[in-house]
Amino acid sequence: MLNPASPLARLMAAPPRPGEIVWIGVRPERRQAMQPLAEATLAPTTGLAGDRYSSRTSRSRQVTLIGAENLAAIASYLGRDGLDPALLRRNILVRGINLLALKGRRIRLGTAILEITGECQPCSRMEEVLGPGGYNAMRGQGGMTARIVEPGHAAPGALIERLDDAVQDGAGFNPGQPRQGKNPAQNLLI
Q: What is the CATH number of the domain that holds 178?
A: 2.40.33.20
pLDDT at 190: 34
In a domain, 11, yes or no: no
pLDDT at 105: 94
pLDDT at 84: 96
pLDDT at 164: 74
pLDDT at 143: 96
- pTM, entire model: 0.82
Block means of pLDDT (10 residues each) for the chain, length 190 residues?
Answer: 85 88 93 92 92 70 95 97 95 97 95 96 90 94 95 98 69 40 39
pLDDT at 56: 58
In a domain, 1, yes or no: no
Distances (CA, A) of 179 to 3, 20, 182: 11, 35, 10
In a domain, 88, yes or no: yes
Amino acid at 154: A
pLDDT at 95: 98
In a domain, 121, yes or no: yes
In a domain, 165, yes or no: yes
Nearest Cα to 32, choosing from 13, 51, 58? Answer: 51
When divided into structural domains, the chain yields a total of: 1
In a domain, 78, yes or no: yes
Burial of 11 (0-12, 13-18, 19+ CB in 10 A): exposed
* Number of neighbouring beta carbons within 10 Å of residue 172: 7
pLDDT at 2: 79
In a domain, 4, yes or no: no
Length, in residues, of the chain: 190
pLDDT at 18: 95
Q: What is the DSSP string of 83-106?
A: --GGGGT-SEEEESS-GGGGTTEE
In a domain, 168, yes or no: yes
Check if the beta carbon of residue 139 is closer than 8 Å to that of residue 74: no
pLDDT at 80: 96
Domain membership of residue 86 as a residue range: 18-186
